[in-house]
């Protein structure tokens, strides 16, 4: 247990904000190589932006288990609002405080330590591969996506994958994530005729037209959800006219919408839905769609069901199969093999004083270690 907690603390102490992850990835590479993994740092670059990622593996053949995580963290923001320094990894009353301990350096540490202990105590056939990306929180070049593509080109095939994202809303054993909602961002511009408000009869007001369009979109419910997904949701996240004159009708207005959609829809469906509303609304509009991720649902197979039993063994709870939350790198993994997300709790992630109970960290370690035994040795 002490080795695991020390590993958690060491990872938190790396200030891997944004894609400033090289030092942390080199530490992980050295740790894995000391435990007989082959490991490499892989850099990807797009439009002058570069991100580093770690790929490591142990063993050969089948079955092949993939673990995916990210070492980058969100900024700590106002440090004065933290009880302890966000990168000190302070332990107080059996709680470890620090940016990234829950999301998701603790999950990485638990899997690494579980692999180390499992490999030292078991002879087994098969392969373990890890992908640790450096740009999950603020995607720069989508490191995990490109790492998976590279491994596929190298003829690596996976039987199952675990993404170590914090999956439990409050306590360990709450949820296993078997899918995620899709996400798309729409940037809509409304055009009109600029002029004096006193002569509104000859002006086409783009603000009025945009408000009408947004009202129409808000009040047209996309769906009622289904067995595994909540209803799709739409949120207006920005509205801008950039008009400082109260007596002037502007010539354009802008709005941004974030749509989180379930498995009832695809990107193409949502785009068609938007176009229909534009056609039915007075005014002139253009839009740009940013595709963040499609909705997906992993088939519930024996691996998922046995992971659920192992979680119940260590928590006393039967976790719910969930698809809640934002997007994660699981949206890339699902193109290569069945995938689940199971990690620590997410009740403090991205907040001041992010923290995790030491008992939860020990529980996750035991879940991972027992899953490795089941996956490679058939122990149930």
What amino acid positions are annotated as catalytic residues?
A: 72, 136
In the chain, which ranges are continuous DSSP H helix? 2-13, 22-34, 106-121, 143-153, 206-218, 267-279, 302-315, 330-333, 358-377
- Beta strands 320-322 and 175-177 are parallel
Dist. CA 206–CA 250, nearest whole Å: 7
Dist. CA 72–CA 328, nearest whole Å: 13
Side by side, the strands of the sheet bearing 91-92 are: 91-92, 95-97, 355-357
What three-state secondary structure class fits 233? strand
Tokens representing 100? 């990234």
**Four-CA torsion 133, 134, 140, 142, nearest 10 degrees:** 0
Over its C-alpha atoms, the chain yields an Rg (Å, rounded) of 24
User: Would you give the end-to-end CA distance of the chain in angstroms?
Assistant: 23
Burial (CB count within 10 angstroms: exposed 0-12, middle 13-18, buried 19+), residue 324? middle
Instruction: Note whether 53 and 41 are within 8 A (CB).
Output: yes
């Amino acid at each position: 247990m002490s080795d695991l907690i020390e590993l958690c603390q060491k990872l938190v102490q790396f200030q891997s904000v944004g894609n400033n992850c090289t030092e942390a990835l080199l530490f992980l590479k050295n740790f894995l190589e000391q435990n007989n993994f082959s490991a490499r740092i892989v850099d990807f670059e797009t439009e002058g932006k570069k991100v580093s990622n770690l790929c490591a593996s142990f063993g050969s053949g089948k079955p092949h288990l993939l673990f995916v995580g990210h070492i980058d963290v969100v900024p700590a923001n106002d440090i004065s609002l933290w009880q302890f320094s966000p990168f000190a990894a302070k332990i107080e009353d059996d709680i470890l405080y620090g940016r990234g301990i829950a999301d998701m350096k603790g999950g990485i540490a638990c899997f690494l330590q579980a692999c180390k202990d499992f490999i030292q105590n078991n002879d087994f056939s098969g392969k373990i591969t890890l992908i640790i990306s450096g740009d999950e929180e603020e995607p720069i070049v989508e490191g995990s996506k490109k790492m998976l593509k590279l491994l596929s080109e190298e003829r690596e095939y996976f039987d199952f994958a675990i993404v170590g994202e914090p999956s439990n809303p409050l306590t360990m054993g709450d949820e296993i994530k078997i899918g995620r909602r899709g996400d798309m961002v729409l940037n809509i511009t409304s055009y009109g005729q600029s002029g004096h408000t006193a002569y509104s009869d000859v002006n086409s007001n783009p603000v009025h037209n945009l408000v009408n369009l947004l009202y129409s979109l808000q009040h047209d419910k996309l769906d009622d959800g289904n067995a595994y997904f909540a209803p799709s949701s739409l949120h207006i996240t920005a509205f801008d006219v950039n008009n400082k004159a109260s007596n002037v009708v502007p010539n354009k207005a802008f709005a941004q919408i974030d749509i989180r959609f379930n498995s009832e829809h695809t990107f193409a469906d949502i785009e068609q839905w938007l176009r229909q509303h534009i056609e039915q609304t007075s005014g002139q509009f253009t839009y740009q769609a940013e595709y963040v991720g499609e909705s997906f649902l992993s088939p519930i197979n024996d691996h998922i069901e046995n992971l659920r039993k192992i979680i119940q063994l260590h928590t006393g709870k039967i976790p719910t199969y969930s698809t809640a939350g934002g997007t994660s790198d699981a949206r890339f993994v699902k193109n290569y093999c069945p995938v689940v997300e199971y990690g620590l709790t997410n009740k403090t992630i991205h907040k001041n004083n992010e923290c995790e109970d030491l008992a939860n960290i020990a529980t996750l370690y035991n879940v991972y270690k027992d899953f490795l035994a089941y996956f490679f040795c058939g122990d149930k």
